[in-house]
Amino acid sequence: MKKIAVLTGAGISAESGISTFRDSDGLWEQHNVMDVASIEGWYKNPKLVLDFYNERRKQLETVEPNAAHKILHELENHFNVCVITQNVDNLHERAGSTNIIHLHGELTKVRSIADEDTVYDIGYKAINIGDTDKSGVQLRPHIVWFGEAVPMLNAAADKVAQADIIAIIGTSLNVYPAAGLVNYKKNGIPVFLINPNDVNPFHIQNLTLIQEKATTGVEKMRNILIEKYL
Ligand code: OAD
């Protein structure tokens, strides 16, 4: 089976009802990114940060995977698919995808501020100041904030380097190092870029630009993949 590395961002979950970050109605229009999604913000006002992610987690419980997430799962019947997502939602998992790398962490998981390796599943529950692990250390969201390292980066870069085909779906390609992952790909392999708006495609060769929303765009990509690349 050919290997596909799929890089996804907030846009793939937009049609499920989750706001993106940088569109005109996006989360960073309503919240100061450095207050709620940076390590400095956490030290300054942890309650504000916990409340922000509590709200995201609560909303996640109310939404469902859309056709784009589901088609990526179905593609596993024909290809070896690895989804590398910047999203902290669990919609790829809930659509059935089995090989997922979360670059920026996961909303439904927490860890203590003292131990980044012991991660707990909390589902859709809130965490508050005073909620601790067994040793009494405060819990924090299992999210990679601005100013923090991206532990899954090397694993993701390996998947991109091994891929025969790349798909980039619903990301503004604004945030590094995630946006630079495509540079690890083999030369000349097919790359699909699905986004209804203009994004910088880095002058990629062999690019198929599908300027559509994720649901219809991923369906078109699936048809091309099955017709041309099986
Ligand atoms: P952005 O909000 O930066 O970009 C979302 C992209 O989705 C834009 O390019 C939109 O054009 C596109 N889009 C909007 N609706 C779409 C739809 N229905 N179908 C397909 N595409 C659509 O989100 P990301 O690129 O994911 O990190 O942002 C990257 C990171 O920045 C996030 O992981 C988050 C944020 O700060 C952290 O919080 C650490």
3-state SS record for 90-154: CHHHHHCCCCEEECCEEEEEEEECCEEEEEEECCCCCCCCCCECCCCCEEEEEECCECCCCCCHH
Which pTM does this prediction carry?
A: 0.97
Q: What CA–CA distance (Å, rounded) separates 67 from 19? A: 17
Based on the domain organization, do 112 and 177 belong to the same domain?
A: no
Based on the domain organization, do 83 and 163 belong to the same domain?
A: yes
Rounded-to-10 torsion of CA 12, 174, 39, 59: -20
Based on the domain organization, do 211 and 116 belong to the same domain?
A: no
Based on the domain organization, do 11 and 119 belong to the same domain?
A: no
Q: What is the mean pLDDT of each run of 10 residues along the chain (230 residues)?
A: 98 97 89 95 97 97 98 98 98 98 98 94 97 96 97 98 98 94 96 93 86 98 97
Q: For position 162, which CATH number holds? A: 3.40.50.1220
Based on the domain organization, do 139 and 160 belong to the same domain?
A: no
Q: For position 120, which CATH number holds? A: 3.30.1600.10
Based on the domain organization, do 73 and 92 belong to the same domain?
A: yes
Based on the domain organization, do 125 and 215 belong to the same domain?
A: no
Number of domains the chain is built from: 2
Q: What is the pLDDT of residue 201?
A: 65
Count each helix (H run) and each strand (E run) in the chain, helices first.
9, 9
**CB of residue 10 inside a 6 A radius of ligand 1:** yes
Residue 104 designated active-site: yes
What residue has token string 């996961």? 106
Based on the domain organization, do 51 and 155 belong to the same domain?
A: no
Based on the domain organization, do 174 and 202 belong to the same domain?
A: yes
Return the closest-CA partner of residue 193 out of 178, 163, 164, 173: 173
**CB of residue 22 inside a 6 A radius of ligand 1:** yes
Q: What is the pLDDT of residue 204?
A: 87
**CB of residue 200 inside a 6 A radius of ligand 1:** no
Structural domain harbouring 54: 19-62+108-143
Based on the domain organization, do 218 and 124 belong to the same domain?
A: no
Q: What is the pLDDT of residue 10?
A: 98
Residue 224: CB atoms within 10 Å: 13
Q: What is the pLDDT of residue 200?
A: 72
Based on the domain organization, do 97 and 115 belong to the same domain?
A: no
8 CA: nearest ligand 1 atom: 26
Residue 19's contacts (CB-CB under 8 Å, 6 or more residues apart) are 10, 25, 26, 27
Using the 3D structure, point to which of 93, 121, 143 is the last residue of a domain.
143
Q: What CA–CA distance (Å, rounded) separates 65 from 92? A: 7
Contact at 8 Å (CB) between 178 and 7? yes
**CB of residue 66 inside a 6 A radius of ligand 1:** no
Distance 9 CA to ligand 1 centre (A): 5
Based on the domain organization, do 199 and 87 belong to the same domain?
A: yes
